[in-house]
Amino acid sequence: MITWRGFLKRFLSDPVAIGSAAVLLVLILMAVFAPLIAPQNPYDLLQLDIMNSDLPPAWRNGGDDQFWLGTDTQGRGVFSTILYGTGISLLIGIGAVLVQGILGITLGLWAGYKGGWVDSFLMRLADIQMSLSTLMIAIIALALFQAAFDANIYADYAIFMLILIIGMAEWPKFARTVRSSVLGEKNKEYVDAARVIGLPARKVMWGHILPNAMTPVLVISTIQVAEAIMTEAALSFLGLGMPTDKPSLGSLIRSGFEFIFSGSWWITLYPAIVLVTLVLALNLLGDWLRDVLNPKLRRGDD
């Protein structure tokens, strides 16, 4: 284990960690304060003017100072839509990881603590689900959801469905991590002590074992947020995620893709840069956390 002081010291001595944390912080602040920063509210139809559509970035010929990254075909400023879109992407990413965490920790604790058939059943299920791949499960689930309901209902619930589906599809990662920590902890003396004084299994699991199994959970959480954001972007790009009037970064790229060939590259390029930057910052931070907190974990063999 590492103390807070040691953690801070290592953080301050690593430029990559500082850089990615700073980038991440800026992106999160931009998303949170989007209504204050954005020159225009892209959801408010009254503020949109079709005359402003398809303008290039401000420094190029025909650009307008009001829209420094240009506008899309509906006259929405690309900078404003990116601010709001980043918020939606982050919200879905973090929300999905919360669902994954709650499900995964509960099932992982249960499997590790109980053992026996509960354990083998849950782990077998986890194996199968992992090999089916999150993206595939999500594509099929959302495709059916979209086919079964009409477009308006779909648009209203898309954000919840994305959080739920990405959350439920990825629980095995957390469950496996927690389970292996539990297996390492459950034969230690403090657990025996807690059991002997007659605490119920629920309290032993959540109150005594879990706090000692949290480090790897924190380590994978960061990378899981990055993956959830990537999955959401892919789904939105396929038209199975956020609708274009409440766009995430993925749906912005989708709506720009149609116009890339008529020369309006800015509608796609800027959201794409923000998406890659966001995911890269999370991945670098996650890798750094893993190296510092848990050198034994390695990406690729989880």
Using the minimum distance from each CB to other proteins, give the nearer residue, 132 or 214: 132
Establish if 21 lies at the interface with other proteins (CB under 8 A): no
Stretch that binds other proteins, among 3-11, 71-79, 85-93, 142-150 (CB under 8 A): 142-150
Establish if 276 lies at the interface with other proteins (CB under 8 A): yes
Q: Taking the complex as a whole, how short is the minimal distance between the CB of residue 248 and other proteins, in angstroms? A: 12
Q: Which residue has the tokens 């496996």?
A: 176
Establish if 162 lies at the interface with other proteins (CB under 8 A): no
Stretch that binds other proteins, among 80-88, 146-154, 191-199, 204-212 (CB under 8 A): 146-154
CB neighbours of 117 closer than 8 A, spacing ≥ 6? none
Using the minimum distance from each CB to other proteins, give the nearer residue, 192 or 245: 245
Angular region, 239: left φ>0, alpha ψ -120 to 50, beta rest: left
Using the minimum distance from each CB to other proteins, give the nearer residue, 115 or 212: 115
Instruction: Name which position in 287, 292, 294, 297 contacts other proteins (CB under 8 A).
Output: 287
Establish if 157 lies at the interface with other proteins (CB under 8 A): no
List interacting residues with other proteins (CB under 8 A). 128, 130-133, 135-136, 139-140, 143-144, 146-148, 226, 230, 233-234, 237-240, 253, 257, 260-261, 265, 268, 272, 275-276, 279-280, 283-284, 287, 298-301
